[in-house]
Amino acid sequence: MQHPLDQHPAALCADLLAQTGENPLLHAACEQASAVWDGDPTRPRGARAALLLCEMKADPDTLLAATLGDPRLRASFDEGLMAKTYGHRIARMVAELHRLNTFEETQAALGNPQQAENIRRLLLSMVSDVRVILIKLAYRLERLRALPLVDNAALRQSVARETLDIFAPLAHRLGLGQLKWELEDLAFRHLEPETYKRIASLLDEKRAEREDYMRKVREQLDRALNFEGIRAKVYGRPKHLYSIFEKMRRKKLSFEQLFDVRALRVQVDNINDCYAALSVVHTLWQAIHSEYDDYIAHPKPNGYQSLHTAVHALEGKTLEVQIRTAAMHDQAELGVAAHWRYKEGSKARGDRFEDDLERLRLALEEGEGGALHARSIYVFTPKGHVIELPQGATPLDLAYSLHTELGHQCKGAKVNARLVPLNTPLKNTDRVELLRASQGTPNREWADAKSGYLVSKGARDKVRAWFKQRERESAREEGHAHWDKTVRRLGLSREQRELLLHKLKFKSETTAWEALGEGQLSHAAFLDAARATLAQAIPPSDEQTLPRRIATAAIPRSLSLEGLQAEPARCCNPMPGDAIVGFITRGQGLRLHRTDCHNLTNLRRTQADRLINVEWPYLQGMAVRAELLILGEDRAEFLSDISHVLSMFKARVNAIDSTRDKRTEQVRMRLKLELPSLDNLQPLIDKLLALNGLDEVRRV
């Protein structure tokens, strides 16, 4: 029964007391609420909310808290004083109700399903007794009933949207079906007034008429089942306007395509009775065969089981019938296939929150209170977004939950506009602003759980990963430097470096650098492998013969370089006496390559017609220049022994460059020489190699 919105509070209280019997505390509460009546029917009233809850058979404590929670009493509210009169439990419930009624941090969540879910969880976490949520929902329904009296269209839209996104799903979660459908229908009426009117006209009947129709078909089916000896519970109510609209939108159906505008559920004892009841339904009314689904033989992926059918029932109107056992019903309502998950279009998170919610739902059915187990807290960002964090979380936990880099660079935080240390535990509804340093880095102490900076193990793992990555990068840089130094000292070619990687069993130079830097590959082992690679001959190219075809027929197959413009190629730096090939450039004469030059293979493949066999002119007695690389152990006689050999072959030194590796105690020397004849070069190299302590002597 709905009372007139402008009905005097004295009349409301009289009706409330008449329905509840003599209750001195409720009588006193009614007097308090009546004394502050301001004549504004658009503001919810405690007595009206209590009457609504009385119709739902709420317990006396709930009715008392609802009456005392009148917003007009909030200004004079004193929890301690109220506790003396009504008891601590009632005072606490009223205090929490006032907090919920003044909570306005929902706008950022509207239209965002995840944020709306976080807001619902936050509201539940703000109360110590779930009955406070029940009272809040009653107050919200009273506010919706009074919305037509509000002139501000934007306010009406905002209240309606908040109801659909936050409060109606919350009522559904708690099993408060009657509250849910009226909240949805009233909000729908203000959000989509034209659509609301169109669907209402399509139904072509008033709600009372629809409910009367449902009563008739339920009684008819109940009699038929009893006649067949099938024990069953038949129940149902017509679809409401908003649920019809949602199904049309979700499934993209026209109104004529809906078969479940009116629906019954039949609950039986066993599976055999399910099919027996189905037979009764199809005998009693004309079946719509295209709408039959057997989810018992073929359950849905989430485990849902039931028989679904649609029929033309009384007066030819369509009726959906669902048939299931009690176990199937429990699975659908309380298990993974819970109806609210299907209705809200969301998936369960797989956490213990749903178990808590079911416990609260059952507590409400028994008229009892209860609270969520405090496993999470909910805080606000400066933009009003709600973030779920573990109990005891700090501003640093929040930073890492938003973005890893924000966590690494977090240098401070403001909680409710006050600067706090980063290890300050946060509380429900705190508004947290994080301060960020553009070049900030994490602190090793953060990764220690005992330090109190981070409660979340995932966040601590991110800190450890950051330091591990930096250590890996540092090791890679150190290994890279040592690799390059050794490769340059030994003069390893690209092919030799690849051979070295294969010998060391590394896939890339980067992994080899990391192994060197981290000590997995010792410097001594690396040097030994590099020297062994240097000593190993590189397999000759598959192409050893020069192409016979050349671009210009006037150029003979073999030329002497005497009198020709020719320069040695920088890639291999050939010397007189080396086996060479000429490459005809455009306007710059010949470029001379040694026949073992690594670039020659590519030239043979791509520009073979510009290669030509050439030979040096007569070289007898001609002075030649050469550059040698000498590697050997650092010892006192190193330079004097080399000088002695050079003098034996009358070699003149034009330039010398020498370096010493302190770690390996090896000398690397480059000599630029001039020899009287090319014939002296190889004997000179052989003589140097014979010296004690020299590891390598080769031309550059």
The C-alpha atoms of residue 101 and residue 118 are separated, in whole angstroms, by 18
The C-alpha atoms of residue 226 and residue 233 are separated, in whole angstroms, by 10
Write the CB contacts of 623 (distance below 8 Å, at least 6 apart in sequence).
674, 675, 676, 677
| Amino acid sitting at position 156 | R
The C-alpha atoms of residue 354 and residue 522 are separated, in whole angstroms, by 56
Read off the tokens for 343.
Answer: 């209705």
The C-alpha atoms of residue 70 and residue 40 are separated, in whole angstroms, by 13
Read off the tokens for 299.
Answer: 């359950």
Check: CATH 2.60.120.260 for 9-191? no
Q: What is the pLDDT of residue 225?
A: 95
Q: How many CB atoms lie within 10 A of CB 692?
A: 10
Q: What is the pLDDT of residue 549?
A: 29
The C-alpha atoms of residue 321 and residue 286 are separated, in whole angstroms, by 12
Characterise 505 by phi-psi region: left (phi > 0), alpha (psi -120 to 50), beta (else).
Answer: left
Reduced to 3 states (helix: H, G, I; strand: E, B; else coil), residue 2 is coil
Q: Put the strands of the sheet holding 694-699 in their side by side order.
A: 652-661, 666-675, 624-633, 694-699
Whether residue 682 contacts residue 631, with contact meaning beta carbons closer than 8 Å, is answered with no
CATH code for residues 624-699: 3.30.70.260
Read off the tokens for 167.
Answer: 């409060």
Residues of the chain with CATH 3.10.20.30: 376-455
- From the candidate CATH numbers 3.70.10.10, 3.30.460.10, 2.60.40.420, 3.40.50.10490, the one assigned to the domain spanning 207-337: 3.30.460.10
Beta strands in 133-231 (DSSP E): none
Percentage helix, strand, coil for the chain under 3-state DSSP, each rounded to 5: 50, 15, 35
> How many helices (H) and strands (E) in the chain?
27, 20
Fold of 376-455: Ubiquitin-like (UB roll) (3.10.20)
Most distant CA pair in the chain, distance? 134
Read off the tokens for 242.
Answer: 């908003």
Q: Model confidence over 101-138: pLDDT tens digits?
A: 888 777 777 878 888 888 888 888 888 888 899 899 99
The C-alpha atoms of residue 618 and residue 463 are separated, in whole angstroms, by 72
**Angle (deg, nearest 10), helices 177-191 and 153-162:** 150
**pLDDT means per 10 residues in the chain (700 residues)?**
71 84 87 86 87 84 92 91 92 93 80 85 85 91 91 91 91 77 91 86 68 90 94 80 79 66 89 95 92 89 81 89 86 43 45 57 55 74 88 94 93 93 92 89 91 92 91 88 83 82 87 88 88 66 35 35 64 77 76 84 84 68 76 82 86 85 80 81 86 81
Reduced to 3 states (helix: H, G, I; strand: E, B; else coil), residue 106 is coil
Residues of the chain with CATH 1.10.3210.10: 9-191
Closest CA to 176 of 360, 373, 374: 360
Q: Model confidence over 394-433: pLDDT tens digits?
A: 999 999 999 999 999 999 999 999 999 999 999 988 999 9
Write the CB contacts of 304 (distance below 8 Å, at least 6 apart in sequence).
295, 331, 332, 337
Q: How many residues does the chain have?
A: 700
Residues of the chain with CATH 3.30.460.10: 207-337
The pairs formed by 477-482 with CB atoms below 8 angstroms and a separation of 24 or more are 477/513, 477/517, 478/516, 478/517, 479/512, 479/513, 479/514, 479/515, 479/516, 479/517, 479/518, 480/513, 480/517, 482/516, 482/517, 482/523, 482/526
Residue 97 burial (C-beta neighbours within 10 Å; 0-12, 13-18, 19+): buried
Residues of the chain with CATH 3.30.70.260: 624-699
Residue 486 burial (C-beta neighbours within 10 Å; 0-12, 13-18, 19+): buried
Whether residue 342 contacts residue 251, with contact meaning beta carbons closer than 8 Å, is answered with no
Query: Residue 431 carries which DSSP code?
Result: B
Beta bridge partners of 655: 672
Q: What is the pLDDT of residue 560?
A: 44
Write the CB contacts of 147 (distance below 8 Å, at least 6 apart in sequence).
42, 156, 159, 160, 186, 190
